[in-house]
Amino acid sequence: MADTPILQLENVRKVYSSGDIEFEALRGVTLSVDQGEYVAVVGPSGSGKSTLMNILGCLDVATEGRYEIGGEDVGKMDEVDLAEVRGRRIGFVFQQFNLLASMSAWRNVELPLSYAGVGPAERKRRAIAALESVGLGDKINNRPGQLSGGQQQRAAIARALVTEPMLLLADEPTGNLDSASAREILDIFDQVHRSGRTIVLITHDWDVAGRTDRSIEVRDGMILERGPGRREPQLAEVGK
């Protein structure tokens, strides 16, 4: 496995301003993720995880600092470049699945390919293959309302992977699921990881983080710890 960093953040700050009030949600974050790594970003609510996810996913820009994805400086990209990164180089998985209710599973999954200009026959073939890879080969014609929560999240993972992105970025992907479905989703992430894909998984749940290679702990907008997947005992009550 190559160890070229696929993501590199240097001293990234994010300041939200509203009127006279400024709030520093990220206070100088430096981290790198290597190609093929499976990393959790863990922290309690309000710690800055979503802010970090938005910057990693090129959905928002840092106030200060440097962010490189695949060796390219995101700060130098224009809107067209950023849209290309979001559409083809990153696959997103969200807590709420975000599937279109009126469309069948395979139509949902082929959508990113249609934005990428892939022809209809190829789109359908790849969408069905992606659904088969997450165990939904017999549900391709079901609409989201005809799928369980776990199945909907599996379809969302198929949609995220169908463009063969360099990075899978997941925000609380098991947050809306019962524990059996959550385990199934994490098993699929293991399988995606084994296939060599880089995964960054954002979670408040240390049990979920424990399934990854490495946990990056975020607290009050700063990185506290970069250890193995499981929480280190000495961190149990930091600052208490």
Query: Which residues of this chain interact with ligand ADP, rule CB under 6 A?
Result: 16, 18, 23, 25, 43, 45-51
59-71: buried (b, 16+ CB within 10 Å) or exposed (e) per residue? eeebbebebbbee
Strands 21-34 and 167-171: unpaired
Taking the CA atoms of 99, 185, 181 and 54 in sequence, report the sign of the dihedral they define.
negative
Shortest reach from residue 96's CB to ligand ADP, in Å: 14
Shortest reach from residue 150's CB to ligand ADP, in Å: 23
Nearer to ligand ADP, 64 or 164 (CB): 64
Nearer to ligand ADP, 51 or 181 (CB): 51
Shortest reach from residue 219's CB to ligand ADP, in Å: 9
Shortest reach from residue 31's CB to ligand ADP, in Å: 15
The tokens for 213 are 């290679």
Q: Are 109 and 159 in contact (CB under 8 A)?
A: yes
Question: Which of 232, 196, 187 minimizes the C-alpha distance to 214?
Answer: 232
Nearer to ligand ADP, 39 or 113 (CB): 39
Nearer to ligand ADP, 63 or 191 (CB): 63
